[in-house]
Amino acid sequence: MESRTKDVSSEGGKMRLGLTKIIGENQYNFSFDGADLWECIMESQKVSIYDIKECGLCHTSFLKLIAYETKEDKYKYVKVSCNKCKGSLTLGQAKSDNAYYYRRDKDTGNLDWQAFVEKEKTS
Ligand SMILES: [Zn+2]
C-alpha cells in the first residue's frame, strides 16, 4: 500500500475513527470521518461525553440516550434517561464548537441529574 503524507486531502485520503460510549447497559457506536487524523479527532470531540454506568439518582444501570426537541423554540436536546426512576441528565451543547457535554450543577460541579417531575417545564 502506497501512501504519501501530502495526499491526505485527496479523495483517497479519508479516515474513519470509531468510538464507543457506554450509557448504562447500552453501547453506542459512533464513527467519525475526516481527511486525516486531526479532522477525525476534531469530529470525535463533538461527542465528548464519557461513559455513564449508573443513574446519579437511583444508581441502577437502566439508562439510555434520548433525543428531543422543545416545541416553542425548537432547541434540540439529548439526554441520558433512567428507565427506573425516570431521572435524566441533559447534555448541553457548546455554541463554540457544537460539542456535547453533560450539564453540571453550577454550585457543586456535580453532574446535574434531574429527578422526574410529572410535567415537563415548557414555558
Ligand atoms: Zn434512576
pLDDT one digit per residue (tens) for the chain, 123 residues = 554 554 444 455 689 999 999 999 999 999 999 999 999 999 998 888 899 999 999 999 999 999 988 888 888 889 999 999 999 999 988 777 778 889 999 999 999 999 998 875 555
CA 61 to centroid of ligand 1, rounded, Å: 8
CA 101 to centroid of ligand 1, rounded, Å: 19
All cell numbers assigned to 30: 459512533
Per-residue model confidence as pLDDT tens digits over 91-102: 988 777 778 889
CA 48 to centroid of ligand 1, rounded, Å: 22
Q: What is the pLDDT of residue 104?
A: 92
3 state DSSP class of 41 = helix
